[in-house]
Structure 1
């Protein structure tokens, strides 16, 4: 298990860093493809609980949000158009009580996967966006790695066993403080003050770990162990990017609050 995790990370991390380096439409297209994978993983999870879901509508909504961000178009019209299309699909494709269920699941999946992931493009377009995006993922990866290894070795007291039985207080706090240290160490390179770097690490770590718990709770609700099998040793796209999704918009708005645009 650990060996496969390491091999997958050794292949996936350089690819992710290359996409961030290129940015622009290359990153936008890659992000749209990843969002489609995420939407269909959601479809797999919804189906396991026999819930109605419209994956094609969800994927189109996610693509629209991502390309709107890439083209610097307003996001609100995309949200309204996506919601309208989802409601129409529910009326036309759904049957009686299932219509409302399909509208709710599709809206949730589109916002969770497509809209949150689209903030990767906004983060990349900030001043020094390449470095800030690199720094964002470094902090996420350090949080995940320290939480995993320290929790596995020293963790005894469970954090929220009813949500994620494997997570411990030791792992959570190790990930948090490691992220703050990483933020301080990276601050000069990122163009931030040391306290700003520490807060940058803290915001990413806290929101990332909450996102991880959210995904764990959703998997328990749908009764699946992994969202998919795309990444050996990690599970699916959502298993690997669950901490990224919620952290992206919070990191972006934190940086904007510092005057970075």
Structure 2
């Protein structure tokens, strides 16, 4: 989710966000509806872009306190000397894509093997940022791979994925409009100064209002639908805050600029990644009917 300002403002970016968001939603819906290899290709492509954004983000070298007191030319030379010589991204991207296809073709164990191989690549080539790269690969890679078996659950895998996307989007929309209309105290100023408590509550309310009846419609009982809708919304917002913290750590506003009006793919899918983690964990422990 994009950060909402702490007080009411104009919706000047709404048109661009809406157009690009609808175009992306149409592409994603077609691929997910077709299922099979098409959905695996879509998910592998999204994971590759997110890994590129992660590598691009964490490879930025922020000047230390010591170097900031040095002359600009010398500080610049010291910063460039700390850069990683070899990029871990190509190997991570290949392993991430193979993990998605392996999960689709042979199950989660082989997918996990390729993710572990990608972590080994990051450990060898990631330099001082290897911890960030490994953590990002596991966090995003496991979520993306988990979407493959969720999509192919019988009989309602497609409907479950659509429901989850709707809950995350409702959380985003509610936070955007309520936060911009009402403003108020910031949610977590140290991590994301723009997000407000009113926006967080608005996102939660929107998710419940849309997610609960939709969950009942696809076959969940009302208690399960309420639990999953509210839980996925909270997980979505927590994941969004996590990405905001990483971006703030490395001094970037957006993960990239590949999506007009929205920033990067990580900026768009951070909430969905959190929602997938919540739903997948619930499924592992039998909390809620996911089929």
State the TM-score, normalizing by the size of structure 1.
0.89
Higher relative contact order (CA 8 A, sep 6+): 2
CA distance in 2, matches of 1:4, 1:152: 17
When you count helix as a share of all residues, which structure comes out higher? 1
Q: CA deviation at 1:158?
A: 0.6
From 274, 277, 283, the counterpart of 1:246:
274
Q: CA deviation at 1:119?
A: 1.6
Aligned to 1:118: 145
Q: CA deviation at 1:86?
A: 3.6
CA distance in 2, matches of 1:70, 1:79: 14
CA contact (8 A) 2:204 2:233 kept: yes
CA distance in 1, matches of 2:121, 2:265: 26
CA contact (8 A) 2:57 2:252 kept: yes
State the TM-score, normalizing by the size of structure 2.
0.81
Query: Highest Rg: 1 or 2?
Result: 2
CA contact (8 A) 2:224 2:289 kept: no
Which 4+ runs in 1 deviate beyond 4 A? none
CA distance in 2, matches of 1:234, 1:56: 25
From 35, 57, 72, the counterpart of 1:23:
35
Aligned to 2:173: 145
Task: Specify the SS of the correspondent of 1:166.
Answer: strand
Alpha-carbon distance change, 104 to 204 in structure 1, aligned in 2, over 3 angstroms: same
CA contact (8 A) 1:39 1:110 kept: yes
Q: CA deviation at 1:64?
A: 2.6
Q: Is 2:82 the counterpart of 1:82?
A: no
Consecutive unaligned residues of structure 1, counting only runs of 5 or more, are none
CA distance in 2, matches of 1:27, 1:12: 14
Q: For structure 1, which segment, 25-34 or 246-255, has the greater mean C-alpha deviation from structure 2 after superposition?
A: 246-255
Alpha-carbon distance change, 10 to 85 in structure 1, aligned in 2, over 3 angstroms: closer
